[in-house]
Amino acid sequence: MKKHLKTLLPILLAGLVGSTQAATEADVEASFNPYQAGMPSFAGLTAGMTINKGNVQKFKELFDSSTYAFIEQGSLEVPIEKTSSIALNPNYVAATKKYASQVKLGSSPGTIDGYVAGRPFPMKPEKSDPRAGEKLAFNYKYTQIIGDSGRIYPFIWSYKDAKTGKAERQLDLDFHTISLKHRTTQEPKSDIEPNPSKIYRGIYLKVLAPNDLKNTQLLIQRYDDDAKLDDSYLYLGFQRRVRRLATGQTTDSFLGSDLMIEDFEGYNGRVLDMDWKYVETKAMLMPVYKHSEWKNTEPRDADGYGQATFAGKGGCFHNTPWSLRVVHVLEGTPTSKASPIGKRVMYMDAQTSVFPMILMYDRKGDLWKRWSVAFSDSAYHAPANKNAGIALYTSASMFDAQAQHCTTLKLRSISDASLNPPSLFTVQNLRGGD
C-alpha cells in the first residue's frame, strides 16, 4: 500500500512540524497550513472521478471503515474534488501565534491553563505524548465553529427508514451559537459582559414545525472550566414551562431523531467527558469541499446558495464531494459508565480542527452510528460568509447501522454576530420564546 502514496510522507513530516514543548511560530504556520509542502495524492485518485462499488477497493485505506463498507455494498457513491487549502481567519491565526506558547494542560485530565484565544495546541501531535488526544480535543473545543457566533436557518431534519427510503417526519429548526469568551473574529473582539457565570459558549435551538413540537426550545450553556457541568434547559411549548435537563439526557435520542444532544456540531460534550487517545495522522478522504462550485444542489436562493441534497441507500447520505485531507484520528472513551457509547472514533480535519466523520460504537464494541458532517470553505459558501475564514457546515447525516434508520440535516449557516444577540442565550429568553 505504501507504494501508492506519492507525497504524503513529506507533507506530514514537513507540514506538521512541532514538538511536545511550547508552540513556536513555525508550529502555528504548519498547523494552519498542513499543505505548505504540497497537496497529498494517491495513485489513481483524480478530481472529477466518482468512487463506487466497482473501484472502491483501490482506495480502501483512504476511508474510515464504515464509509468503505457502505460504498462496497453499493449504498453510497463518493464524488472526488481537488484538495484545497482553507484560509482561516487571520485574527484567529494571530491569536494563536500570540498566546499558544503559554498554554499547557492542567495536572488533571480535561483541564487547561494559560488559554486566552486561538488554537491552544498547534504543535504536531506525537504518539509518545500520552495526552496528545486531549490536546486535540481542546483544539476542537476552541475552534471556530460558525465563527464567534452564527445561525443555522433554515435547518431541516428528516427522519428516514434506511431500508425503504420512506420519509417519516420532518423538523424545521432555528439554531444559534455564540462564544461569550475568547472571541477573535467578530465584534466585540473581547469577552462579552456582563457574564457573571463565566459561560464560555451558548447554544440555542427552537423548533418551528411540526405543530406538536412547535416552540420547543433548547438552551445549552458551557463553561470555560471543564470541571463544571453544562447547564442545559428544555422549554416544552405544549407545557409552557422550562425544565433543567439531567446530565444523562444528553445521550438520549433528541426529539425522536437519531441524534443525541452530545452529537450536536459533531461532538458537543466536554473534554472531561472522554478519555482521549491520539491514534495517527494520515491522508483520508473527507466531505470537505467548495460548496458554491458544486452543481448538484437544490434550486439556489437569490444570493446563489443552494441547499445540499441527499442520495444513496434510503436517501441517507449527503450528496457532496469529498477531498483528500490530512486527518488526525482520535478515540474517545466516555468517562461515565452510564453512557450508551463504548467509544467514538473521531476523524479531525487537521487544518480546521473540525470533525467531518465520527463512528460510534456501543458498549459491546459493535458499530452503532456513523455521524458524517459535510464542510465547505466559507469563501465558497453563502456570499455572506465569504470573509469568515472558517469551515462551515452544509449538510450532515446520522446513520444508525443497527436500527437501519437515519436522520439527515439540511442547513444554511451564516456567521454573523447581529443574528445572535447574547440575550438569546438566557433562560429568560426561553420563558418568553413563544
DSSP state of 270: -
State how far the Cα of 31 lies from the Cα of 25, in Å rounded to an integer: 10
∠ CA 326-328-334, rounded to 5° = 155
**320-353, pLDDT tens digit by residue?**
999 999 999 999 999 999 999 999 999 999 999 9
CA 277 to chain centre: 18
Task: Map residue 392 onto helix, strand or coil.
Answer: strand
Q: How confident is the model at residue 10 (pLDDT cuts 50, 70, 90)?
A: very low
**138-153, pLDDT tens digit by residue?**
999 999 989 999 999 9
**238-277, pLDDT tens digit by residue?**
777 899 987 667 788 999 999 999 999 999 999 999 999 9
Q: What is the b/e burial string over 240-256, where b = at least 16 CB atoms within 10 angstroms of the residue's CB?
A: eebeebeeebbbeebbe
Is pLDDT of 34 > 50? yes
First to last CA, the chain: 58
Q: What's the pLDDT at 3?
A: 44
Lowest mean pLDDT across 139-143, 234-238, 302-306, 380-384: 234-238
Contact present, 63 and 285 (Cβ < 8 Å): yes
DSSP alpha helix (H) spans, 233-329:
none
